[in-house]
Amino acid sequence: MAFKTDERGRPVLLFIGQKDENGNIKGERFARRLKEGADGELIKDHWDHKGKAT
């Protein structure tokens, strides 16, 4: 499992699977959708399955 984060340190990409010989993860990829209001308050927060990670 590996995460990539945004500038605030929140995970926005998630990879679940096995590492290959080059260190890349083969498995599934998920993307996090964050929607904030004008005052910075979090309105929506959910994960979308994006398919295979190669």
Query: What per-residue confidence (pLDDT) applies to 53?
Result: 85
CA distance 32 to 54: 19
pLDDT at 11 over 90: yes
**Are 34 and 11 within 8 A, CB to CB?**
no
Query: What per-residue confidence (pLDDT) applies to 40?
Result: 85
Binned at pLDDT 50, 70 and 90, residue 29 comes out as very high
**Global pTM?**
0.79
Please state, rounded to an integer, the average pLDDT across all residues of the chain.
92
Q: Which of 10-14, 19-23, 47-51 has the lowest mean pLDDT?
A: 19-23
pLDDT at 41 over 80: yes
